[in-house]
Structures are given as C-alpha cells and as structure tokens.
Structure 1
Amino acid sequence: MTNLINILSYLCILLGLWFWFWGTAALVTRRSVLFKLHSLSVSDTLGSIAIVFGLVLLRPKELPLLILAIISLALWNTMLCYVLAYCSSSTRKKQ
C-alpha cells in the first residue's frame, strides 16, 4: 500500500512539473500578452496545487498546513491574474 501511495505522490509531483513547463512554453507563442498571462497563471496554479497534493500524500501529518498552502495558492494566483489583466487592459486618460 505504501508503494502505491509513493507512486501516486510522485506522479502528482511530475504532473505539477509538467504543468509548470507547459505554461512556460506558452510564453514563446505569438499570441497576445493577456493570453500568455492567462495560460501561465492557470498552469502555474494547477502545477503548484498538484505538487502540494503530492506532498500531502507523502506527509499526511502535515495535512492542515498543506491544505492551507493549496487554498492560498488558489486564491493568490487567481487574484493576481485578475489584477494583471485589469492593469494591462484598462485605458488611461492622457494628460
């Protein structure tokens, strides 16, 4: 049973790393800046949550702290994405 949990944990961590690299690869495309920011922030959020979930499987005694990390990642990355999108798309009055 422990072997299965270790394998699942390492698969989650590898999936998280794959999401990180996948989001970074979107930066070299010829899409708009907002599309690049969106794909990077979504893939970083999913990758980080997958890595932390893999750590939950490895260290179940640290569950409350790692759940807090997952919630913080989801909230922080979502709010940061909204702020960046708002700042880059808002029209400013010229003085």
Structure 2
Amino acid sequence: MINLLSYVCIGVGIAFWFWGTWPLIGDRSVLFKLHSLSVADTLGSMLIVFGLLLQIPREWPLLLLGIISLAIWNTVLGYVLAYCSSTEADHD
C-alpha cells in the first residue's frame, strides 16, 4: 500500500511539472507564466520528494530538509523574479 501511495505521489508530481510547463506557450503575461510555472514546479517537486520519503523512510531528515528548502527557495525566487521584472518607477 505504501509503495502504491509513493508511486502515486511521484506520478502526480511529474504531472504537476508538465502542467506548469504548458502555460509557457500561451499568450499571457510573463508574470502569469512565471507564477504558474513556479507553483506547479514547487508542488510537483515536493510531491516527488514526499514519494521518495515513503520509499526510503530512513532518510527522512535529508528528505524533509529538501521539502522545506523547496518551499522556501521557490517562494523567495518567485518574489525576486517578480521584483526584478517590474519597472524602475515601481521600486521608488
């Protein structure tokens, strides 16, 4: 049962990766594309690492650190990219 849940988490994580990549070919703004890509990438990566955690529970400290790092890094990177893409007048 744990193996099935693990494979489902990994599969859904990979699906999130592709789902987040799909809007890149659309006609929306760059910020919308970055937002959808970063959210889907973060959730997908976290689900994949969680699936690995179910497969190899003895490595839980390292995998938990990976999940926390993904959540913090991708959130901060999204804010930095949004700040850098705004106009110079908005920074004042």
Match of 2:23 in 1: 26
Unmatched 5+ stretches in structure 2 = none
Q: 1:57 aligns with which of 37, 43, 54?
A: 54
Of the structure 1 ranges 24-33 and 83-92, higher mean CA displacement relative to structure 2 is found in 83-92
Task: Report the residue type matching 1:29 in the other structure.
Answer: G
C-alpha distance in structure 2 between counterparts of 1:17 and 1:58, whole Å:
16
Aligned Cα root-mean-square deviation (Å) = 0.8
C-alpha distance in structure 2 between counterparts of 1:39 and 1:12, whole Å:
20
Match of 2:80 in 1: 83
TM-score, scaled relative to structure 2: 0.94
Bigger Rg, which one? 1
Structure 1 residue 27: deviation in Å? 0.3
Task: Report the residue type matching 2:79 in the other structure.
Answer: Y
Q: Give the total of aligned pairs.
A: 89
Identical-residue share of aligned pairs (%): 69
TM-score, scaled relative to structure 1: 0.91
Match of 1:37 in 2: 34
Unmatched 5+ stretches in structure 1 = none
Structure 1 residue 91: deviation in Å? 1.8
Task: Report the residue type matching 2:14 in the other structure.
Answer: L
Which SS does the other structure have where 1:41 is aligned?
A: helix
Task: Report the residue type matching 1:44 in the other structure.
Answer: D
Which SS does the other structure have where 2:85 is aligned?
A: helix
C-alpha distance in structure 2 between counterparts of 1:26 and 1:14, whole Å:
20
C-alpha distance in structure 2 between counterparts of 1:18 and 1:91, whole Å:
37
